Chains A and B, each alone.
Chain A
Amino acid sequence: MAETARRTFALEGRSYDGDGISLAPAGPASRISLRAPAESLAALSEALGLDLPVRPKASARKNARAALWLGPDEWLVIDEGGADLMAICARVAALHSAVDISHRNLAILVSGRRVEDVLNAACPQDLSVARFPVGAASRTVFGKAEIVLWRIGEDAFHVECWRSFADYVFGLLDAAGREAVR
């Protein structure tokens, strides 16, 4: 019997580099699902060190930390530096709910000149730069899985999905990357 268990990343060793498209799992990050009413935003923004966006589909980013607008009172806060976001929110007295989802989600970085075509293989949203500009973020669907899309560059998206959906989402992205041609 094994004495110790090694934690393996859901997408360990998976990546794809093709013509105009590249897929790579993002490194670990801390994440929280943050719910709060409008009156609490100032205090939470100050504690987190960035302005929580209030416009639909908007995001805010400062250094390794980003806050994505998911709904009128809901944000996904991601810290790629691994900061303890729960401890930061716990110091805020204003009404809010923060749930640690660091291990529920993982991210796949999708980039290249064919990025819109590859994502549109299974995501029905309009991903043209005019409708989904750099910095835009939205919860949506990718095939049968729910994902959060975040455009981090004109040719680059950060795709968040649940860990248990990672194999499905990566496999579908991989298949689309091999098939979608422009």
Chain B
Amino acid sequence: MLLIHCPYCEEERPEAEFRHAGEAHIARPQNIAEISDEEFERYFFIRSNPKGLVFERWRHIHGCARFFNAARDTVSDRFLKTYKAGEPKPALDGEG
């Protein structure tokens, strides 16, 4: 079973305790009422979905229940790094 390191539990835990929660580092515009429909669409619906390195939110729902961020490679399905919510995006290269 895939093991995922939870930054709050400080250990690797089985995948079955976690739930995926979409792309990470998406900031809600401060002026949400003023932006155009196209800008809102880009913020709300459009996701990067690259092949390779992705930054995602995950939730340790059947553990400490915290949301955290993870850098994962969509080709190898390997977790490169997990870090607490609110921390900056780490500098990483994908595995390709």
Contacts and interface: CB of A to CB of B under 8 A. Distances in A.
Nearest to A55: B10
B29 interface: no
Contacts of A71: 8, 63-66
A74 B63 contact: no
A141 B8 contact: no
Contacts of A141: 16-17, 62
Nearest to A125: B14
A139 B13 CA distance: 11
Nearest to B63: A139
B34 interface: no
Interface in B34-64: 62-64
A55 to B, nearest CB: 9
Given A124-B14, A124-B16, A140-B17, A74 B64 contact: yes
Given A124-B14, A141-B16, A141-B17, A72 B62 contact: no
A56 B8 contact: yes
A57 interface: yes
Nearest to B11: A56
Contact of B10 (A56, A70, A125): A56
Contact of B9 (A57, A74, A124, A146): A57
Interface in A134-155: 138-141, 146
A58 to B, nearest CB: 11
Nearest to A146: B62
Contacts of A139: 62-65
B65 A56 contact: no
A72 B66 contact: yes
Nearest to A124: B14
B17 A56 contact: no
A153 to B, nearest CB: 22
B1 interface: yes
9 contacts: A56-B9, A57-B11, A71-B8, A71-B63, A72-B64, A138-B9, A139-B64, A140-B13, A140-B17
Interface of A: 56-57, 70-72, 74, 124-125, 131, 138-141, 146
Interface of B: 1, 8-11, 13-17, 62-66
Leading 7 A-B pairs by shortest Cβ distance: A124-B14, A71-B64, A56-B9, A141-B62, A71-B65, A124-B16, A56-B10
Given A125-B14, A139-B64, 10 more contacts: A56-B8, A57-B11, A70-B65, A72-B64, A74-B64, A124-B14, A125-B13, A139-B63, A140-B62, A141-B17
